[in-house]
Chain A
Amino acid sequence: MEQAIQPGMQPVATTFFFYLLSGLTLLSGVFVITRKNPVHSALALIFGLLAQAGLYLMLYAPFVAGVQIILYAGGIMVLFLFVIMLVNLERSQREERFNKQWVVGLVAAVALGVLFVVVYVKGKALFPYRIAQPLENSNTQQIGVMLYGQYMFAFEIASLLLLVAIIGAVVMAKKRI
């Protein structure tokens, strides 16, 4: 019984799916910024984020993948509504897409490219090669224990921040409470 030792799901055709999902992420990322229609951009964004969720699954982090799907499905939904209700689609179709900041863009692109090359060349020394521990079967449980045990304080502070945001939104939206 090997399954008793490692009961998690065994990945199938890892390389293929890695390149498929990364390709999908990159492609939809490009679409997000090049599409003239903001609705298409939002659509490309959700495809990219879903592909990313697939990558998280491959990294044995199902909880992160699930949260990614739930949060971004709702988030993109709101983005969609903003686009429909606030953006003047017909005007934005005719407007120019990119402003002409070639110098800044070039510098940023070169810097990022150099970073990529450095990581690619020296990556093996910088990041020790390690196979991810397939904690798939207790991934969620461990995140829960961590959040509510070791990182309780940080977690509570984060939720306080969210509460402030909610109260702020209510105060701004409703003048007379």
Chain B
Amino acid sequence: MLDYITSYLSSNTTPGQAGNVFWALVYIMIVFGGISVAVMAMNWLERKALAHFQIRLGPMRVGPHGLLQPIADAIKLMTKEDIIPAEADKFVFWIAPLIILCASFAIYIVVPFGPTHAITDLNIGILFMLGVSSLSVLGVVMAGWASNSHYPLIGALRSSAQMVSYEVAMGLAVVSAIVMTSLHGLGPYGVGVGTSGTGTLSMIGIVQAQQEQHVWFLFKFFPLGFIAFGIFAIAMVAETNRAPFDLPEAESELTAGFHTEYSGLRWSLFMLGEYAAMIAVSSIAVTLWLGGWYRPFPNTLTGDTWDLVFSLFPGLTFLALAAIAFVGVRRMPKHPYFRVQTIGLAGFGAVLGLIGLILFVPPVRDRIQDIYWFIAKVAGFMYLYIWYRATFPRYRFDQLMKVGWKVLLPIGIGVLILTAILGVVL
């Protein structure tokens, strides 16, 4: 038994590939917990950042700078009365948030946080991710229909039309990145990752293809990779129903769209699913175009010195966060009322600093690097989501459809064809 557990540590694959059930379960637990914590952090960050965009303070009451606000929210949502409308379809109403939640979390089975840090590496990785994430629209439509009310139904129909339209553009952008995995710039049968010049759909394989070709797919065939990435970056915002494409829950027209009738824990499941899906599609974008877990500038800034410098980044990030926390401690009002909060913030800063120091230890440093760079890139996308929401006004529905079908789709097809031609010619 013990041997079964330790034997995985010496192998060099993901737990799913090694067929080790114990470690697969451990990874699933870690990913599930990590995503839940990330969703809570994202919730706080979004409210805080949006507030600062709009020159407000945002949550300030619960904990220093509202740091404990997500926990307070979670407790509130869990203890709130759970209402099911009298005329609602009970079973469908009950199962809809679960479908969204399962679909959003199932995506993480194949997300590669590092060369061996994924739950498993499926041969159909990216196909699996797209398929499972498209299941969540079912949950949205079910929720809207089962509520037996007008606003949710309209929201659900809007959502389905929007997701079906943008999935097409998204798929084309993804395919043009997958085509790149098979090309080495050596003609049609260049050295691919798989056999006989074919590319790969596996998430780990895609990142390794970028390493072998010494280029992030973002910069491959210069404007082409960039355009494909742009199409994906637009489509993924529409796929997750976020501003400026948040028509299914446009509060000025539909109160809250498909989840108007939901309350309490069920509503929080929708939120959890939405944020988990946001992180998931961001990690698709990072994997396909931004080199996954590889550090920036692997070609120009090479050598042991640069390796060392880049490996210090995780620790430095945490130290910077700790420094921000200590600045916050200094700026706290010197009033007895704020004493507990000041001590709490100082403690939080100390914990962050300690984590930063631990991350400087060489064995930890080497192991954490891949995960750090992956998460850092994804975090950049998460900030973009907040930024979009604060910046762009909401689209009208016909404009949304026009962008999807008349702009993104033709450009996507053009990029795909050009990528294939360039790959064969060059």
Contact = CB atoms under 8 A, between A and B. Distances in A.
Interface of A: 3, 7-10, 12, 37, 39-40, 43, 46, 62-63, 65-67, 69-70, 73-74, 76-77, 80-81, 84, 136-141, 144-145
Contacts of B130: 70
Given A9-B19, A80-B142, 15 more contacts: A9-B16, A39-B145, A63-B123, A66-B124, A70-B127, A73-B135, A77-B141, A80-B138, A81-B157, A138-B194, A139-B124, A140-B123, A141-B199, A145-B196, A145-B198
B161 to A, nearest CB: 9
Interface of B is mostly: helix
B357 to A, nearest CB: 37
A3 B141 contact: no
B160 interface: yes
B54 interface: no
B332 interface: no
Contact of A3 (B13, B91, B134): B13
B15 to A, nearest CB: 10
A35 to B, nearest CB: 10
A148 B73 CA distance: 54
Interface residues of B, number: 39
B164 A74 contact: yes
B134 A70 contact: yes
A80 B92 CA distance: 13
Interface string B84-128: 000001011001000000000000000000000000101110011
A86 to B, nearest CB: 13
A40 B92 contact: yes
B200 interface: yes
Contacts of B426: none
A69 B127 CA distance: 9
Interface of B: 11, 13, 16-19, 21, 89, 91-92, 95, 120, 122-124, 127-128, 130-132, 134-135, 137-138, 141-142, 145, 153, 157, 160, 164, 167, 194-196, 198-201
Contacts of B167: 74
A84 to B, nearest CB: 6
Contacts of A140: 123-124, 127, 200-201
Contacts, number: 94
Nearest to A65: B124
Give the top 8 A-B pairs by smallest Cβ distance, nearest first.
Answer: A10-B19, A69-B131, A66-B127, A70-B131, A66-B124, A141-B198, A141-B194, A62-B124
A61 to B, nearest CB: 10
A130 to B, nearest CB: 21
A43 B92 contact: yes
Contact of B138 (A3, A8, A76): A76
Contacts of B18: 3
B133 to A, nearest CB: 9
B134 A74 contact: yes
Given A3-B18, A10-B19, A12-B21, A138 B123 contact: yes
B200 A141 contact: yes
Contact of B123 (A37, A43, A69, A139): A139
A37 B167 CA distance: 29
B122 A62 contact: yes
Contacts of B11: 3
A73 B130 CA distance: 11
A63 B124 contact: yes
A84 B145 contact: yes
Nearest to B136: A73
A56 B361 CA distance: 46
Given A46-B138, A73-B138, A145-B198, A66 B92 contact: no
A90 to B, nearest CB: 12
Contacts of A74: 134, 164, 167
Nearest to A81: B160
B294 to A, nearest CB: 23
B19 to A, nearest CB: 3
Contacts of A3: 11, 13, 17-18
Contacts of A136: 123
B140 to A, nearest CB: 10
A139 B157 CA distance: 37
A137 B160 contact: no
A138 B142 CA distance: 37
A145 B138 CA distance: 33
17 contacts: A7-B13, A9-B19, A12-B19, A37-B89, A43-B92, A63-B123, A66-B127, A66-B131, A73-B131, A73-B137, A73-B138, A77-B138, A77-B141, A80-B142, A141-B199, A145-B196, A145-B198
B171 to A, nearest CB: 9
A164 B302 CA distance: 54
